[in-house]
């Protein structure tokens, strides 16, 4: 797994860090006739963009494999690191997608949250569009006709420096589920620009990129959320270690060794 620092950070709306042909192989977890499994760093966009093939994970993987079509089975938000699965054949993609739809896949995330979470807690709260936020993509816990059931379990692993490293297991797969439930719980995810008390942080980032104000307000430049494991009920499983920047935060800010608890 790559432990590089990001070479560049987005400065303007729509700008993305480019993947290089040299570093992509470092992220490969599995590469065979059926699958290409990637340990995606934070800040890499999954879906193809207008900035060329090397501006997204799917585009870069197409260039790397020489395949015209790759099926994105398990995707992640731009700032979430961890396991991404791409299927090389339609039949394989359908089988895996059905497993997700039928909830035959168990997902495990790792996150760093604000505050000290004392004990494991399961949040069973419906999510719907946040009508009070200026951020169009934000969802929130509320009851409405459009609300969807969402269940997330947060398990504290170790605390330090006013933060907690947690293992997160979502039972459902709603948009922004982990981040919205963490915020509702009062333990928002470190570095999250969307789920916080100040909508203007995200809006400022979209308009101007990383600024001095964001640097002062957020302990990390991206949300500290990492897809660490996918376990399919058919017996197949994929696991990756904690992302380098989250491990660095744990050591330097929290004063803990994440390897000792993972």
Give the pLDDT score at 69.
95
Give the pLDDT score at 18.
84
The ranges assigned to domains in the chain are: 1-102, 105-255+258-262
Q: Which fold has domain 1-102?
A: Pseudouridine synthase (3.30.2350)
Catalytic residue among 77, 130, 192, 245: 77
Domains 1-102 and 105-255+258-262 share a fold: yes
Give the pLDDT score at 8.
40
Least confident of 2-16, 110-124, 136-150, 230-244: 2-16
Residue 47 pLDDT class (50, 70, 90 cuts): confident
Give the pLDDT score at 15.
55
Q: Across residues 230-234, what is the average pLDDT?
A: 96
Architecture of domain 105-255+258-262: 2-Layer Sandwich (3.30)
Distance between alpha carbon 200 and the CA centroid of its chain, in Å?
A: 22
pLDDT at 6 over 50: no
Give the pLDDT score at 244.
95
- Report the percent of the chain where pLDDT is more than 90: 83
Residue 77: active-site member: yes
pLDDT at 4 over 50: no
């Amino acid at each position: 797994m790559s432990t590089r620092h990001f070479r560049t950070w987005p400065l303007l709306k729509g700008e993305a860090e480019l993947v290089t042909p040299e570093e992509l192989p470092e992220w490969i977890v599995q590469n065979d006739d059926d699958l290409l499994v990637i340990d995606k760093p934070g800040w890499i966009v999954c879906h193809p963009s207008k900035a060329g093939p090397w501006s997204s994970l799917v585009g870069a993987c197409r260039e790397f494999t020489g395949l015209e079509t790759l099926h994105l089975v398990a995707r992640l938000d731009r700032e979430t690191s961890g396991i991404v699965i791409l299927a090389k054949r339609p039949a394989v993609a359908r089988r895996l997608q059905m497993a997700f739809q039928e909830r035959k896949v168990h997902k495990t995330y790792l996150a760093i949250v604000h505050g000290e979470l004392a004990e494991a807690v399961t949040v069973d709260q419906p999510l719907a569009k946040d009508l009070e936020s200026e951020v169009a993509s934000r969802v929130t816990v509320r009851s409405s006709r459009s609300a969807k059931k969402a269940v997330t379990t947060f398990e504290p692993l170790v605390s330090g420096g006013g933060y907690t490293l947690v293992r997160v297991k979502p039972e459902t797969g709603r948009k922004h589920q982990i981040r919205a439930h963490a915020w509702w719980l009062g333990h928002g995810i470190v570095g999250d620009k969307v789920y916080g008390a100040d909508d203007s942080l995200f809006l400022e980032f979209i308009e101007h990129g990383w600024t001095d104000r964001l640097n002062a307000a957020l302990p990390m430049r991206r949300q500290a959320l990492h897809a660490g494991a996918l376990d399919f009920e058919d017996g197949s499983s994929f696991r990756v270690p904690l992302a380098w920047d989250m491990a660095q935060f744990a050591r330097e800010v929290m004063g803990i060794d994440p390897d000792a608890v993972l």
